[in-house]
């Protein structure tokens, strides 16, 4: 059965991305520190960077990295994560991820601007652009996922929108033991999520704390 999932890397003070994004540095300068333990895993090294020599960590962080890549059949993301805010006037913009994005499935980009044609990419990713209500986009993504999970990829405001609407079955956050003090807060206006979801917590060898809210 399809579950709606969110996986995010945040700081101990709850920032999931930073305010200093730019076309040259799309994730901002703090992003590397937020994702350091994830990037170090053997799964990220092989799945994303193509290092097939066995490099990377194999502990708790890697177990979550393995789960991250499991059974996602469709992805939803906000316009900002895709880059529409950075390149609003470029109908040819194809996201930050190169010719073969790591999704390998249909990706639904939420936008309030004029619709643009879908963009098929190498490796199974196709970008679709939707101006509909999030419930309707989720229904379409769920259909496309064919029984696999739907991931709400981000950014933070999109994740919060789905969480507040009660549409998310599983939220996994990897909390880096750092204080950023700036950026976008994940936790705003989510009081009581622990009342509808069961919380589990696990600390990795890296010091990263993995917290999962699951329905």
Binding site for a second copy (CB under 8 A): 12-14, 177-182, 187-194, 199-203, 207, 209, 211
Residue 163, SS3 per DSSP? helix
Residue closer to a second copy (CB basis): 126 or 209: 209
Residue closer to a second copy (CB basis): 147 or 192: 192
Contact (Cβ atoms closer than 8 angstroms) between residue 156 and residue 10: no
Minimum gap (Å) between residue 162 Cβ and a second copy: 15
Residue 61, SS3 per DSSP? helix
CB atoms within 10 A of CB 200: 11
Write down the number of H helices and E strands in the chain. 8, 11
Q: Return all residues near 101 (Cβ < 8 A) that are at least 6 apart.
A: 95, 107, 121, 123, 125
Residue closer to a second copy (CB basis): 133 or 203: 203
- Torsion sign across C-alpha atoms 31, 132, 71, 99: negative
Minimum gap (Å) between residue 205 Cβ and a second copy: 11
Minimum gap (Å) between residue 203 Cβ and a second copy: 5
Minimum gap (Å) between residue 184 Cβ and a second copy: 14
Minimum gap (Å) between residue 63 Cβ and a second copy: 15
Residue closer to a second copy (CB basis): 50 or 192: 192
CA dist., res. 201 & res. 39, Å (int): 20
Residue closer to a second copy (CB basis): 131 or 190: 190
């Amino acid at each position: 059965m399809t579950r709606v999932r969110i996986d995010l890397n945040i700081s101990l003070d709850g920032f999931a991305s930073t305010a200093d994004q730019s076309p040259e540095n799309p994730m901002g300068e703090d992003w590397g520190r937020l994702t350091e333990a994830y990037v170090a895993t053997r799964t990220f090294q092989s799945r994303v960077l193509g290092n097939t020599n066995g490099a990377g960590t194999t502990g708790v962080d890697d177990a979550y990295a393995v789960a991250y890549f499991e059974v996602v059949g469709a992805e939803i993301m906000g316009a900002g994560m895709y880059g529409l805010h950075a390149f609003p006037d470029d109908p040819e913009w194809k996201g930050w991820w190169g010719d073969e994005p790591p999704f390998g499935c249909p990706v639904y980009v939420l936008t309030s601007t004029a619709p643009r044609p879908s963009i098929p990419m190498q490796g199974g990713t196709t970008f679709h652009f939707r101006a509909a209500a999030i419930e309707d986009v989720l229904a379409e993504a769920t259909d496309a996922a064919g029984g696999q999970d739907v991931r709400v990829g981000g950014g933070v405001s999109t994740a919060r929108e789905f969480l507040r609407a009660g549409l998310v079955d599983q939220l996994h956050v990897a909390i880096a033991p750092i204080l950023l003090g700036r950026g976008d807060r994940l936790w705003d206006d989510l009081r009581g999520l622990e009342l509808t979801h069961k919380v589990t917590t696990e600390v990795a060898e890296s010091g990263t704390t993995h917290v999962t809210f699951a329905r």
